[in-house]
Structure 1
């Protein structure tokens, strides 16, 4: 498995990370679902403030880790088509990322856990699919 690190398509990883983290995440959380996301967090009455760097860097790094992991898994699983990559992306998106988002939601610090999950889980599903498909296309 260590030889897979040398075969990582870094351009694909970078493009997939930027698409999933900045493009999709920005549109998803700041435009499409900004109000439901704020409501899920109990911040619907708070004025939007300036984001600290961690709120931009953190999701980027997490998406980068997902992309690197996908870049390692795709060849190990002999997936070389967009359809196969989308299937792996859906499995990772729901099985790992989505279930983790739901687990985060069901704690006492999230005032509306189901709404939080309804906003986050589809994002993780779609971004994971996008990451894996981009990785296959840019190999």
Structure 2
């Protein structure tokens, strides 16, 4: 597994991370932005202006996820778009969506299933897209 690190195309990781971040901006600002406060139970509060952490945090987390997918692609010897797509689906549906629900199942999230349903498409599409980009540029 450690040897896979030396076979990762880090430029591809950067490109996929930026693409994933742009997808997130389009999704959460353009598509679901109005629904987000509702599922969080804060629709009645005034909107706060996002700070640096609101941008840097998601980008850093995305970059770690994309880098992990790149390492898995190399460690598993994946060299086709089909297999990269399957890995993207596995990571999206097998890790990211369940973790989103797991995080949301606590008293601070009044609608954990709605929150997960709102986020799941982004995580799955982002994972599929990232693995495809990683394969294309490797």
Shift of 1:72: 0.9
Q: Does the CA-based 8 Å contact 2:104-2:112 persist in structure 1?
A: yes
Q: Identify unmatched segments of 5+ residues in structure 2.
A: none
Shifted more, 106-115 versus 1-10: the winner is 1-10
1: CA distance between counterparts of 2:109 and 2:28?
16
Residue 97 (1) aligns with residue 93 (2): no
Shift of 1:7: 1.8
Deviation beyond 6 Å, 4+ runs, structure 1: none
Q: Does the CA-based 8 Å contact 2:7-2:74 persist in structure 1?
A: no
Q: Does the CA-based 8 Å contact 1:36-1:115 persist in structure 2?
A: no
Shift of 1:76: 1.6
Q: Identify unmatched segments of 5+ residues in structure 1.
A: none
Shifted more, 2-11 versus 65-74: the winner is 2-11
Shift of 1:77: 1.3
Residue 69 (1) aligns with residue 68 (2): yes
Q: How many residues align structurally?
A: 138
The CA deviation string for residues 16-64 of structure 1, in whole angstroms up to 9 with x for no partner, is 111112x111011111001111111112233332212111111111111
2: CA distance between counterparts of 1:63 and 1:90?
16
> Which residue of structure 2 aligns with residue 28 of structure 1?
27
TM-score (norm 1): 0.93
Q: Mapping of 1:51-90 within 5 angstroms?
A: 51-90=50-89
1: CA distance between counterparts of 2:86 and 2:49?
37
TM-score (norm 2): 0.94
